[in-house]
Amino acid sequence: MIAYVVRRLLYMIPIVFGVALLVFALFSSVGEDPVRNALGPHATAEAIADLERKWGLDKPLPLQFVDFLRQIVTFDFGESYNTGESLSEIFRRGALVSLSLTVPPFLLGIILNISIALLIAYFRGSWLDQASTVLFVGSMSVSYLVYIIAFQYVFAFELDWFPISGYERGVDALPYLVLPWIIIVVVSAGPDIRVLRTVFLDETRADYVRTAFAKGAGEGSVLFRHILKNAMIPVLTHWVTSVPFLILGAFLMERFFSIPGIGDTLINAVNTGDRPILMSLTVLIAIAYSLFNLLTDVLYAYVDPRVKLS
C-alpha cells in the first residue's frame, strides 16, 4: 500500500508540471497586459516598469515560470493584482466559506440519496420505481438556475422564510445558508439517485445475491448487508472525485446569494482579469483532483478485498 501511494504521488509530479506549464503558457500569451490594465492607458513608462518589477513580469518568461513552480511547491501564490492581498489568505478565507456552503448538503445528500436509491431498488419494477424514475429524470432536465430563482421566489420572497443576501463574515451565517443547502440537496438528488439506482440494480443480478436468497436471507438483509457493500466502488468513484470541487463552492449559488466563497472569488477574478488567482486556482484544482483520485483507489482496497493495488 505504501509503495503504491508513493508511486502514485510521484506520478503526480509530471501531471502537475504539465498543468502548470499549460496554464502559464496560456495566460502569458492571451489576455490583456495586467500592468497596463491596472495602471490605465495613461500610465507613465516609469510606473509601468516599477509595477512590472514588483510583480516579477520584467523577468524572462522561463524565469517567470520557475517562480510560478516555486509558488506551487511552497503554496505561496503571491498577491492579487487587484487588491494586493495575499492569495493564501484569500483562498483560506474563501475555502472556509465555500465548505460551509457545500459540505453539509453533500453529506446529507449522501445519506438521503443512498437511502432513497435502496428503497427504489427494494421496490424495483413497482409503481414507486417507475414514478421515481420519471420524477428524477424530469428534475435532471431542469436548469440549476431555475431551481435557484424558483426557490428564492417561493421561500424568500413569497413566504419570507429565508434571507437571500446579507451574508457577512463574523456573523451568524446559518440563516443565509439553509436555503442554498436545500437547493443543493434537491438538485443533486436526481443525478445521484439515478446513478445509485442503476448500480444497485446491477448488483441485484449478481451470483452472490442469488446465493444469499437461496440460503434464506431476506430481501432487506441482502440489500443493506450485501448489495450496498459490494456497490461501494462505483459509489466511491461518484462521490470522492467530486470532493475537490466542494472547495470551489457552487458558483451560481454563491453569486445569487452573495456568499463570498472561492467560487465568487473565481468569478470576480475572471471579470477583473486577476491572473494570479486564476492560475493558482487552476493548478490547485488539478492537485486536489489527483489526490482524491488516489484516495478513491486506496479506498477501493478497503471496501473490496478483491482489489489489489500494484
Q: What's the whole-model pTM score? A: 0.78
Q: Which is nearest to 11 in space by CA: 306, 301, 291, 217?
A: 291
The answer to whether residue 288 is domain-embedded is no
- Asked whether residue 35 is assigned to any structural domain, the reply reads yes
Backbone angles phi, psi at 86, to 5 degrees: -60, 130
307 is a domain residue: no
The b/e string for 229-239 (b: 16+ C-beta within 10 A; e otherwise) is ebbebebbbbb
State CA 190 to chain mean position distance: 18
Q: Is 48 in the same domain as 105?
A: no
Kindly state whether residues 62 and 165 are assigned to the same domain.
no
Quote the CA–CA distance of 184 and 101 in Å, as a whole number: 9
| CATH code for the domain in which residue 99 is found | 1.10.3720
Q: Are residues 117 and 69 in the same domain?
A: no
Residues 103 and 49 in one domain: no
Q: Are residues 101 and 27 in the same domain?
A: no
The end-to-end CA distance of the chain, in Å, is: 8
Q: Is residue 86 part of a domain?
A: no
Same domain, 215 and 166: yes
Count of the separate structural domains present in the chain: 2
Are 70 and 124 found together in one domain?
A: no
What Cα–Cα distance (Å) separates residue 121 from each residue in 62, 185, 225, 305? 57, 20, 14, 25
Residue 89 lies in a domain: no
Instruction: Compute how many other C-beta atoms are within 10 angstroms of the C-beta atom of residue 226.
Output: 18
Q: At what angle do helices 174-204 and 87-122 cross, to 10 degrees?
A: 40
| pLDDT at position 31 | 66
Q: Are residues 102 and 197 in the same domain?
A: yes
What is the model's pLDDT at position 111? Answer: 86
Query: Per the domain annotation, does 174 fall within a domain?
Result: yes
Q: Are 182 and 151 in contact (CB under 8 A)?
A: yes
What local confidence, expressed as pLDDT, does residue 9 receive?
80
**pLDDT, position 248:** 61
Low-confidence ranges of the chain (pLDDT < 50): none
Give the closest residue to 103 by CA, choosing from 237, 267, 243: 243
Q: Which set of grid coordinates corresponds to residue 276?
A: 494570479
Q: Are residue 70 and residue 174 in the same domain, yes or no?
A: no
In a domain, residue 212? The reply is yes
Asked if residue 164 and residue 67 are part of one domain, the reply reads no
Same domain for 59 and 176: no
* Residue 163 structural domain: 94-272
Q: Are residues 149 and 109 in the same domain?
A: yes
- Say what the pLDDT of residue 13 is: 86
Residue 282 is assigned to a structural domain of this protein? no
pLDDT value of residue 98? 85
